[in-house]
Structure 1
C-alpha cells in the first residue's frame, strides 16, 4: 500500500496497514512534511515474517500491553536501507544510519523517530530462540556494522529483499534463513556495543573517503548536514570542513551536488515518468520545491521540467 498525500484518510489507511503487518503500533505524522509518504509490504517466507517499510512519519510507537501477547513471541531484526532514525527502548537510544542493523525486543514498548524519509526491512525472529543464543545479553541494541557477522546478516537480508522472492509464501529455505540469522545475531550484537568509527588514527584522505561514503548513504535524509556527518565519525565539524577545503570543495556543496545528480538521474529515467518532480526532489532530501528548482536550474542551466522533457523525448 502506498500513501503519498497529506489527506487524513490516507494516513489512517497507513496506520491500519502498519498494524496489520507489524502488530500493535501507533504512528503520527511529521508536521514538517506537507507530503506524507507511507509504504509497507509484508511477506511470509516459509514462516519467516518480513516487513519492508518506507515512510516519513513523525514517530512510530510500539504499544506494549498485557493484551498484546502475540508480539511477545518476536524480536525485530531491523536493517536500515536508507535515511536515519533513532530507536528508544528501556531508557536506551540508538541511531541507525544507512547500512546499520539493530535488534529490538517486541515484548517491550519502543519508539522509532525517523529523520526525514526512511526505508528499512524488519525481520521477525523467534524471541525464545534469540534469548537462547544471547543467554543473558540484552535483546535491544545495534549490531556490529563492519564485523563478519554483520556483513553476513546484510547479505542474507539483501537476499531476502531480492525481487525474485516476491509473492513466494511457501519455500523450504525460510527456516534455514532464520536459523542462519539467529546464529549471527549474537556475535554481531556483542561487537556492536563496542564498534565505533575509528577516525583518530586515519589519514585525511581516508577520513574524506569515509565521509563521502556516509554522505552517499544518507542523501535521502533531509537533515543531512556537516554536523550529523562529523558526529557520526567522531570528529569535529571544523576538521571535516578542512578536509574538503583542501581539495577545493566544501561539504555543503558536495552534498548539494550529489543530491542534484541523483535527481537528474531519476528525471532521465523513463520508468519514473509517473512520479512527480516534487516527489523525486523530496526523495533526495530537498524539503522546499522552489529552492530545489532554483538550485537545479543554477546547476544545469535548465529547469527540472525542461530537463526531464529533453532527456525523455
Structure 2
C-alpha cells in the first residue's frame, strides 16, 4: 500500500519515490546518489524513480524526471571506493574534470565515484529524461583498471543489457531480448563492459604512444650534439621515469639505444654529404669516438660504407 505521508512505496525489492523537487533532493538525491538536483525548466517538476538494492554490493536505479542537473560534489567525508555506470534513453551531457561528454541514447559512461561531476538531463520529444544508473560498491581501479575518471561505452548492445539488468533487479522481470544469449547476471554485465573498455583502450593507447614517441624523437634530434644526451636526460625532460621511457620504446618495437644511434647516423650522413667538415670532426660531434664502430654501424644502417656519402659530396662540389 502507498505511504501517503512520505510519498514512498515499497515494492518487492524496490522503492518507488514520487514527490516534489524538495522531497526528491532531501530524501532521494542526497542520501542515495550523494548528489543535488537543480531543475533547468520552469515546468512543474515530475519525477519517478525506482531503486533496487542487491546484497549491498550495488544499486540499480531507473530515474525519469523533468530536465535538470544532477550535481555531485565530494563532501568533507570521502566516499568509500565505488563506480557508477550510467546510460540514458534521452540526450545527456556529463561535465567531469573540465571535460564535456555527450551521452546519447545507445551509449553509456563509466564514472569513478570519487570524481565530482554534473550530469545534465535533457528533455526528449516526450518532455522527459530517462536514466538507468548502477552504483557499484567497488572502485574503478578494481573493476576497470584501464580507466581513470570516466570512459565511454559506445555499444547499444551493452546499454540494452544494462536496461534489461535493471528491469530484472527493480521489477523482477525484463523484456524479451532474443539477442542476449547468456543468462543475465551482475558479474557478466561487468565482464562485458570490462572487455569492451579493454578493446577500445588498446588502439587509443597505441595512438597516444605514437605521438609521445614522435615528440621524444624530435627532442633527441634537437639534442644530438649534447654530451648530456642519455636515457636519464631524456626522461627528466619529459618528467617520466627511465623505466617508463624504455617501456614506451619497447611498445613501439624499437629500443631507445637503437633510436638514438639511428638518429646520430642520419645526422652524420647529412654532414658527410655536405662536405664541409672532416670525417673525424663529424664522428666526434655525433658521439662516435671509435671510427671502426662508426663504419660498422653506418654500413649496417644504410647498407653502404661512409665513403659513399663523402663521394656524393665530392661530386656535388665538382658540379
Question: Scaled by the length of structure 1, what TM-score is found?
Answer: 0.48
Higher relative contact order (CA 8 A, sep 6+): 1
Question: Scaled by the length of structure 2, what TM-score is found?
Answer: 0.47
